[in-house]
Amino acid sequence: MHLIHISSLFALFLLVQAKTASLESALLPYVFDPLPLGSIRPQGWLRDQMQLMSDGLAGHQHDFYRFVKDSSWTGGDQEYSTLNEAWPYWFNGIVPLAYALDDTRLKQQVRSAVNYLFDSQYEDGWLGPESTPQTRMLWPRTLVMMGLTQFLEAEPAEIPRLLPKVYKFIELVHSMLADDYLGYLGRPDSEFDYHWGITRSQDMIISIQWLYDNYPGEYGQVLLEIMQFYNEKAWDWAYFYSSEVFPKEDLDVKLPPDEDLFWYYHGVNSAMGLKAGAVVRRFTHNETLVHISKRGIDWTFKYHGSPSGSIIGDEPWSGLSPSRGSELCTTVEAIYSLGYLYQAFGDWQYSDRSELAAFNALPVAVSPDWWSHQYMTQINQPYSRDLIDTPFNNVNSLGQTFGLEPDYPCCTVNHHQGFPKFLSSTYVKVGNNGVGHAMLSPSKLTTTLKDGNKVVIDCKTIYPFGEKLTYTVNADKGFTFFIKIPQWAVQSASHVEINGKLPQPVKPDLSSGFHSISIPAGATVITLQLSATTRIVPRQRDTVSIYRGALLYAIEIPHTISSASPRAYRSLEPIPTKWLHPHAKDYTLENTTSWNIAIDPSTLKFFSAESEDVVLKNPIFAAGSPPTKMTVMGCEIEWGLHKGSPADPPLPEERKCLGDFFEVVMIPYGAAKLHMAELPTVSYS
């Protein structure tokens, strides 16, 4: 087996192990194996955020939200589309949230959902509400299977009871696919849109591969054939990632030339499709997918990426204009896909990209208390209100407001997978006797390695709001610990200190970014001190975005907030009170100061708390909470509107200060719910 871009002895060692393992399995192994759900716990600010999710909208949909509480999956009749995907989306996200927090109330929601699902299983094995061949579709079962495999991973005691029922469903899926792809492809009498399932096929294959990796039993061949069936009729992301097909032009003015391309252009599909090549490669052994995937991901973020780490698409891709939107579902799916890609390929960039989206694009799109969210987030968004005439392709006028369901409810029921699945990817197994901290965050891992070595790693840090990470490691035996050094870090000024001894320079592997440390049995304390600089990254129309470490910075726009009872996304009529919660509101945020500001990046100054050991405020992603900020000199310029939002930034020759320069404050983007983050430049001198 050959992986490109791997050069070190460390990586070669991994490849030898991977090749040996592949001889024993029809599936190629991951470069870095994922760890079981529940073995990683959030700490610090990340735990605060996930607890807010539990206390907020995510943790209460089970009790009141009509598309979950009264879904057709639970005997009700409330669905937002014929795809019947709301309850499956909720289930896929609530499982990792419940077990990451070890939250008794949420775990009871999960158990209740699992029990109802299997208590109502059809005699032929079908799971869910549909009863006829015309209505039975496999797409929402993709989400259910992802939730179920996570549940079985966290609750292995349930394997004897539930695995036979899962395989009863799997046998039915196999027979349906063998029957001319029944439930997967559309037929003249089908009552569902099959395109979503064939565009997102890789996510079902992941669950099938989990069964094959862990509990194949007598079904190994059946599972392999299901993977092949799915892949044979799926949209081919390798085709889309070719020079002849992939769109590199400005899609703000150019629509897809072929209707079929819409399914690739769709923002959420494109985020989920990032990992398709990695998933398919495992059973096809097609090594060209490593390079094709990397090329496609590079192009996706170069030509359609947001400075916040998400993908711009409202809903289809729409160019790089900062007035266009990134869907919240796109963001959480990108976080998950990029984490999976790092495990599958071991490529440095995927870990850093996942962090960027998790620390910026995700928190900016939800209210500090996690009770409301946006459907669309603009990188330049100086107000959040009914736009009436919107700049978006396929989004209603409330799409960028914070609310219960400001537009299509998929983001209401799907947003909470973001941080839990990010957490699940933060640590990985490295070979037979190693552990790696792959995506940096405050978290604690408890695991047992293949040789029986029990390892506990507790990371205390305010990262990404600071650059120091302190690890307390306890192990029964010696092992190798790996820490990912972000690509933005200044390596010559970053160092590692072990048990208080002299600091040593970091030496990240050229492929994975991992710095390796030999850990003896017993207790070890490691301090990683990264060094960051302020980065000025050019964007379209001679604008810039400003970064420090893993954080994007933005001009925060002061505003007023007003609330109203939630409205239904389609009719915009008030939602009946029986499906509301007292904390669920729709909000309007109106700016109270000017937003049409250009800056001189040469005047940027960075400020941080005096100590890396500062206790972060909770919630951290709120005005006044982050311990860091920047100042820069700026001035107001002429900057018009287009369809209710700031137009594309003026070109350099069109920029003229309307008054004196003044000091502008920039804060971490995730805390600035109203913000300007793609900024025109002017000279202060």
Looking at the structure of the chain, the number of domains it has is 3
**Is the pLDDT score of 599 beyond 90?**
yes
Helix/strand/coil percent split, the chain, to 5:
35, 20, 40
CB atoms within 10 A of CB 357: 29
* Nearest 10 degrees: Cα torsion 315, 318, 321, 323: -30
Query: φ, ψ for residue 132 (rounded to 5)?
Result: -120, 155
Residue 4 lies in a domain: no
Confidence of residue 197 (pLDDT cuts 50, 70, 90): very high
Vertex 6, ends 5 and 8: CA angle to 5°? 140
What is the pairing mode between strands 434-437 and 479-484?
parallel
The 10s digit of each residue's pLDDT in 402-441 is 999 999 999 999 999 999 999 999 999 999 999 999 999 9
d(CA 469, CA 501): 16
Q: Do 539 and 525 sit in the same domain of this protein?
A: no
**Is the pLDDT score of 7 beyond 50?**
no
| Domain, as residue range, for 556 | 534-680
Which of 267, 270, 279 has its CA nearest to residue 240?
Answer: 270
Contact 436, 600 (CB under 8 A): no
Confidence of residue 250 (pLDDT cuts 50, 70, 90): confident
CATH (domain of 508): 2.60.40.1180
pLDDT at residue 52 in the model:
98
Residue 39, SS3 per DSSP: coil
CB atoms within 10 A of CB 239: 12
Residue 113 lies in a domain: yes
Q: Do 396 and 436 sit in the same domain of this protein?
A: no
Q: What is the pLDDT averaged over residues 260-280? A: 95
Contact 388, 302 (CB under 8 A): no
CB atoms within 10 A of CB 217: 12
Contact 430, 511 (CB under 8 A): no
Among 396, 424, 452, residue at a domain's last position = 424
The 10s digit of each residue's pLDDT in 28-60 is 999 999 999 999 999 999 999 999 999 999 999
d(CA 431, CA 30): 10
Place of tokens 């109502």: 120
Residue 32 lies in a domain: no
pLDDT at residue 257 in the model:
59
d(CA 366, CA 382): 16
Residue 9 lies in a domain: no
Q: Do 97 and 167 sit in the same domain of this protein?
A: yes
The 10s digit of each residue's pLDDT in 359-411 is 999 999 999 999 999 999 999 999 999 998 889 988 999 999 999 999 999 99
Which of 328, 339, 333 has its CA nearest to residue 370?
Answer: 328
Residue 370 lies in a domain: yes
CA 483 centroid distance within chain: 21
Among 404, 424, 444, residue at a domain's last position = 424
Q: Do 101 and 239 sit in the same domain of this protein?
A: yes
Vertex 478, ends 475 and 482: CA angle to 5°? 85
Residue 401 lies in a domain: yes
Residue 399 lies in a domain: yes
Contact 409, 86 (CB under 8 A): yes
Q: Do 162 and 92 sit in the same domain of this protein?
A: yes
Confidence of residue 23 (pLDDT cuts 50, 70, 90): very low
Q: Do 410 and 435 sit in the same domain of this protein?
A: no
**Is the pLDDT score of 259 beyond 50?**
yes
Residue 28 lies in a domain: no
CA 445 centroid distance within chain: 21
Mean pLDDT in the chain?
A: 94
Q: Do 495 and 597 sit in the same domain of this protein?
A: no
Q: Do 273 and 408 sit in the same domain of this protein?
A: yes
Q: What is the pLDDT averaged over residues 324-347? A: 98
| pTM exceeds 0.85, yes or no | yes
d(CA 444, CA 419): 15
Contacts of 155 (CB under 8 A, 6+ apart): none
CATH (domain of 60): 1.50.10.10
Q: Do 519 and 551 sit in the same domain of this protein?
A: no
Contact 266, 316 (CB under 8 A): yes
Q: Do 339 and 235 sit in the same domain of this protein?
A: yes
DSSP bridge partners of 564 = 586
Among 529, 545, 572, residue at a domain's last position = 529
d(CA 204, CA 140): 10
Q: Do 525 and 575 sit in the same domain of this protein?
A: no
String of DSSP letters for 312-379: -BSSBB--S-TTSEEEHHHHHHHHHHHHHHHHHH--HHHHHHHHHIIIIIHHHTB-TTSS-B-SEEES
Contacts of 483 (CB under 8 A, 6+ apart): 436, 437, 440, 469, 471, 496, 514, 515, 517, 526, 528
DSSP bridge partners of 517 = 481
Vertex 205, ends 199 and 211: CA angle to 5°? 160
CA 257 centroid distance within chain: 29
CB atoms within 10 A of CB 64: 17
Q: Do 400 and 514 sit in the same domain of this protein?
A: no
The rounded percent of the chain whose pLDDT value lies above 90 is 92
